[in-house]
Amino acid sequence: MTTDAISESSAKSDFWQGVRLSMPVVVASAPFAVLFGALAVEQGFSVLEAFLMSALVFGGASQMVGIQLFGQHVAPWLIVLSIFAVNFRHVLYSAGIGRRIAHWPLIQKALGYFILTDPQFAVAEARAQSGQTVGFAWYLGLGLPVYVLWIVESALGAVFGKLIPDTHALGIDFLLPIYFLGLVLGFRKRPLWLPVVVASAVGSIIAYKTVGSPWHVSIGAVTGILLAVILPPRHSGVEARP
């Protein structure tokens, strides 16, 4: 066997090892992809637009936020800014994973960052910490099935969403607040979580009553973030550095 053949066959097995690890992520994200498609249509997206958003943005929570604001006829720049804000956590993943994939060629890196989701980061980081290299074939095997199925299921959800007759009885209009409450509660172990949530809730409700939608989103968010900035950093679990 030549060296090329050896490295090719090991890349193949790395790829399939990644695919096996992607399966729990595929299963867990499927309902949200279908839900996204159905809700996107409900909020005024076409099937093609729902498909396109899943293919190009590929970030569940941010897509949900986007269509929710879209349905409320929020200004386009604010929708984009909100999606950016929800996805901002990826900056940290990006900084973390950069050390693991520094040996990849530029094109592979560019592609690798495109499919950098929460589980992709978590699984890749775990592999790196166990002392194994994070190769491109393995990383692609982990991310590609999630990406392809996310898009397909979004489109299916959008097609199916058009067929739902009574969306109120099925609670479709209130599923997003429930989902977002779930996400908010998922961050509850973070330092300063409760004060930030209370500040944002109060700020957004007051803004909603006075200034009105869509400004309650940015005003409420800024209220909570400012609280974290103003309080001494040790409250946020951030070490003060000299």
Partner 1 sequence: MSTTFWIIIAAAIATYLTRIGGHLVISRFENIHPRVEAGLNAVPAAVLTTLVAPEMLNAGPAEWAALVVTALVSLRGGLMPMFLAGAAVLIAARQFVG
Task: Kindly identify the residues of this chain, within the stretch 142-161, that bind partner 1 according to CB under 8 A.
Answer: none
Q: Is 57 in the site for partner 1 (CB under 8 A)?
A: yes
Q: Is 104 in the site for partner 1 (CB under 8 A)?
A: no
For 69, the enclosing helix (H) or strand (E) is helix 60-71
Q: Which one among 9, 84, 148, 164 touches partner 1, defined by CB under 8 A?
A: 84
Q: Is 193 in the site for partner 1 (CB under 8 A)?
A: yes
Q: Is 196 in the site for partner 1 (CB under 8 A)?
A: yes
| Placement of tokens 């990006």 in the chain | 94
Tell me the C-alpha distance between 115 and 56, whole Å. Answer: 10
Q: Is 181 in the site for partner 1 (CB under 8 A)?
A: yes
Q: If we measure between CA atoms, which residue out of 7, 31, 4, 10 comes closest to residue 157? A: 31
Using the minimum distance from each CB to partner 1, give the nearer residue, 10 or 177: 177
Question: Quick one: which segment of 9-17, 131-139, 150-158, 202-210 binds partner 1 (CB under 8 A)?
Answer: 202-210
Q: Which one among 162, 177, 210, 211 touches partner 1, defined by CB under 8 A?
A: 177
Using the minimum distance from each CB to partner 1, give the nearer residue, 11 or 201: 201
Please say whether the beta carbons of 235 and 193 come within 8 A. no
What one-letter code names the amino acid at 94? S
Q: Which one among 71, 90, 125, 128 touches partner 1, defined by CB under 8 A?
A: 90
In a 13 Å sphere around the CA of 201, the CA atoms on its Cβ side amount to 9
Q: If we measure between CA atoms, which residue out of 96, 91, 151 comes closest to residue 122? A: 96
Using the minimum distance from each CB to partner 1, give the nearer residue, 98 or 122: 98
The CA dihedral of 170, 172, 177, 179, to the nearest 10 degrees, is 80
Binding mask 25-54 vs partner 1 (x if CB under 8 A, - otherwise)? ---x--x------------xxx--x--xx-
At its nearest, how many Å lie between partner 1 and the CB of residue 50? 9
Using the minimum distance from each CB to partner 1, give the nearer residue, 16 or 84: 84
Burial degree of 27 (CB within 10 A; 0-12, 13-18, 19+): exposed
